[in-house]
Chain A
């Protein structure tokens, strides 16, 4: 072996040279360069000017990066998806396809992953689309992308995404909080859902779970709520939108969408009906506003709201100093406002509900919101199975008044109760009445009791 030393040395040196060249080659040929080259060829095609064409084709490849400190992320999707903001790429194949309907959600301010999911830091296809182990938010399937709107737009209706409104409504009225915590409020029987949108559970799993919980989660204590497909999808949308709560705060402290309902709120808040009327209902100081958007352009109306003196010098209409979103919202409301709306506004202002009605309404809201309906049913009918509890199920609340006084029920709600066992040697029933005194104030509990009493059915027995 000693004789061959220089030969071995040469062989190893050659091997080292080959390896370092291979490493450099591996680092110099990432897949994104190929996509950029393809895109440049598409751009250069049909370019008549030879100089421009050469300049386009020789553009040096570069990783495109969008820094989004407010969203706590960095997105590099546009490294390959180069045609996202280029309308001439309407018919281009992926990944160069133009992104329709972005509106104000431009990539330079929003990136891509906030809506679509995926791994923004990555620069090759598989990793960037997030379908790899150890990345928890892969690309959302096309059917579910609109759920991401709810990640920032946490309140109010979102045009084009009725599923979110429906999902939120269902969550509050079907009693999910009875078992699940959301943003600190709710029960501990099921997992905390505050960041469900960032969990590993896929949209398909979530939807299946709403349709039949024990099928996808064996041994789960969650009852089957018999949701329709639409309802399951709406709830799935809501779940997908539950990510880091700070997300929307980055961009606005005011409501983000100039929707008609927001406009109505502002219309009421600013007391427009003190001077104006709609369809004859209201005051006569300023002009009637019914159909005003058909008479004047949106720009004209916008200008009017900014500077009323401009159109009518000497006008007594004050300048309300509203930002653009608020102005757009008011105009959107006026586009569909009718005399009935005006009547409702006038009526709403003058009428005050009776204290009892107010208590029952508040109690009903709490009953749904805090999940009582989850076990006792939205119609207080009970019936959710509770193995080895006396009666075998969660009791109905429709006949409380026969067995308990209001104070008794108040105490049970405050301190909770473990159901008596059917078979004392058997296991504990999985469901029990939690103690609410730390979550609900006495006034809240009083209102719930009022609501329950308003629903009592008279007993059939004649005493």
Chain B
């Protein structure tokens, strides 16, 4: 049986997990796990600080990729057959309605969670130096998520899909100079038709997911290099220094010279093995607060993954994603509404196409992008940041209110109709 042990050890080349060395090697010798540090401070786990929203968003993305690939086996992106394939998924394919529903609910959840994650990062001030550019990467990921949701929205080719994308691309067309050209690029024509469908499909299954994956890699890498997941450092014990981390040795100091300890430092392999940091001294109390990633971090991540997946599965068992009637370019539903995350935009557009459809959203995105550079306050403590928190909250509330108005308070002809008023639909 030495042969079996030999084969096993040729695959699993680390020490047993019962040893500290083995626990560390599981992390830094493993290609899938080595983004993690071998040891993590317990503060990184605080649920009430991050709510694990970043993880949840990422896991939702994984759910979307797997269910999406499954759905690709049965879906053809051509107007003549797309709707029939949706019906086949609904009635004929084994677990068709379940997988399709998982894909749809996970998509909605991902848009919501990426937004909540952004709010959390803002409220915990985790975008401040040195993490400014990671915030920018995050905003781009937010826009890519909205793009994925938008491109996927067209694929069922029902009335909701067709007209939502007609409205959405028309809003985009209002951009000055480039609006019409970008619209033409997206649609492959002047109206939503078969060229639009194949382009949206390519964007949805190939281009945008690739960009998301590439930027996610950058996003995760930077988190690691910037000292790991966000912690509420303003709540840490007072004898712990709060200085900023330096990556690697500073130019002014020679190697092997001790510099002041950093509260953000994560351990490298060398420090674990020798017990002594190369670049910095470490206070003994700090060592106690650090636990091995395996099992403490991984278990929590696994639980977050399981919770995300099971919630999406449970929802999909009981609520199946809807499908309206076949897309009919000759018949516009009244009202024709964009996907819910763009309804705030559509509400603005209804007041003014240029200001509402182009200027306001552009300013909003620009404002988001510059936050880390605009905010000169180095403190992350909430009580030091009252203005920032208020402004951001107002921004969030305005967006929510606009979306709520667009969803519930707009009826036929975009007239203001409270949802509690019973609207008698006219004969078609």
Contacts and interface: CB of A to CB of B under 8 A. Distances in A.
Contact of A122 (B45, B87, B309, B325): B87
B296 A127 contact: no
Determine the main DSSP class of B at the interface with A.
Answer: helix
Contacts, number: 74
B303 A20 contact: no
A74 B84 contact: yes
Contacts of A16: 306, 309-310, 313
A426 B307 CA distance: 69
Interface size class of B (residues with CB under 8 A): 20 to 34
A121 B159 CA distance: 18
B303 A5 contact: yes
Given A27-B94, A124-B91, A9 B303 contact: yes
Nearest to A8: B303
Nearest to B83: A121
A28 B95 CA distance: 8
B91 A123 contact: yes
B299 A5 contact: yes
A217 B426 CA distance: 9
B296 A76 contact: no
A12 B303 contact: yes
A251 interface: no
Interface in B408-428: 427-428
B15 interface: no
Contacts of B307: 12
Nearest to A199: B428
A123 B313 contact: no
A23 B303 contact: no
Interface residues of A, number: 35
B325 A23 contact: no
A42 interface: no
Contacts of B316: 23
A135 interface: yes
A23 B97 CA distance: 10
Contacts of B84: 74, 121
A82 to B, nearest CB: 17
Interface in B279-303: 295-296, 299-300, 302-303
Interface string B41-53: 0000101000000
Contacts of A160: none
Interface string B398-410: 0000000000000
B95 A24 contact: yes
Nearest to B86: A121
A191 B50 CA distance: 59
B303 A217 contact: no
A123 B87 CA distance: 10
Interface in A114-128: 119, 121-124, 127
B427 A217 contact: yes
A135 B98 contact: no
B98 A13 contact: no
A134 B325 contact: yes
Interface in A86-135: 119, 121-124, 127, 133-135
Interface of A: 1-2, 5-6, 8-9, 12-13, 15-16, 19-20, 22-24, 26-28, 63, 74, 76, 119, 121-124, 127, 133-136, 199-200, 216-217
Interface of B: 45, 47, 84, 87-88, 90-92, 94-96, 98, 158-159, 295-296, 299-300, 302-303, 306-307, 309-310, 313-314, 316-317, 323-325, 427-428
Shortest Cβ-Cβ A-B pairs, 10 listed: A12-B306, A121-B87, A134-B325, A27-B95, A19-B313, A123-B91, A134-B324, A5-B299, A23-B98, A15-B310
5 contacts: A16-B306, A20-B313, A23-B95, A76-B92, A216-B427
Given A121-B87, A121-B91, 8 more contacts: A2-B45, A9-B299, A16-B309, A19-B310, A20-B313, A23-B317, A27-B98, A216-B427
